[in-house]
Amino acid sequence: MTGIAHKFGDDINTDYIISSSRKRDTVDPQKLARFLMEDIRPGFGLQVKKGDFLVAGKNFGCGSAMEIAPLVIVFAGIKAVIAKSYARSFYRNAINLGLLIVEADTDPIDDGDLLEVENLCIIHDLTTGEIINAKPFPPLIKEILDAGGIISYLERKYPMPSV
C-alpha cells in the first residue's frame, strides 16, 4: 500500500487526536473525522486523503483510553499509523479494531514523503529511497489482526458464547 506521510511529534495524546469536548455531543466517527488533530493542526481532518499514513514519534496515543481516537483515525481514511512506539491503551484499541499500527523508527520519514508499506514489516520511503524495517507483531496479536479484530477472533475461537 502506498500513501502520503503526515508527520507528527512525540507524545501525541488521544485528546489531540480527537478533542474531549467534541466527543460530548456525538461519538459518530464519521462526523468526528474532520476534527482529527484539530487542537495541534487545525484543518488537518479535512486535508487528509484516503490512504494516507499518520507518522509519529514515541508514545503515540497516550492519555485517555477512549476508543474513539483510533476509530476517528480509521474514518478519516488513514490506512496505517507508523510510530516509534505506542501508548498501551491505544495499541490495544487499535489491535481490537483491526487498525494497522506499525512500530518503526520514523526519524528518516519527513512530512509529505510518499511511503509504501509492505506486509506491515517493511517501509519504503519512495521520496528519499530509505528502507525501514518495522518491529514484528507477537503471534497472538498477529492472529487478532489477521482475523480483522478481537470480535471476529473470539467468534472463531469460541463459536458459541456461553451466554
Binding site for other proteins (CB under 8 A): 11, 13, 15-16, 19-21, 23-27, 39-40, 58-59, 62-68, 71, 85, 87-89, 91-93, 96-97, 138-141, 144, 149-151, 154-155, 158, 161-163
CB of 50 to other proteins, least distance (A): 21
In angstroms, give the least distance from the CB of 124 to other proteins: 28
Nearer to other proteins among residue 58 and residue 124 (C-beta) = 58
Cβ neighbours for 76, distance < 8 A, ≥ 6 positions apart: 33, 34, 36, 45, 48
Smallest gap from residue 102 Cβ to other proteins (A): 17
Q: Which is nearer to other proteins, 16 or 117 (CB)?
A: 16
Q: How far is the CB of 105 from other proteins (least distance, A)?
A: 16
**Which residue lies nearer to other proteins by CB, 8 or 16?**
16
Cell of 89: 491503551
With beta carbons less than 8 A apart as the criterion, state whether 86 and 61 touch. yes
Q: How many H-runs (helices) and E-runs (strands) does the chain carry?
A: 7, 7
Of the two residues 53 and 91, which places its CB atom closer to other proteins in the complex?
Answer: 91
Let me know: does 7 contact 106? Beta carbons within 8 Å: yes
User: Is 67 within 8 Å of 18 (Cβ atoms)?
Assistant: no
How many C-beta atoms surround the C-beta of residue 137 within 10 A? 18
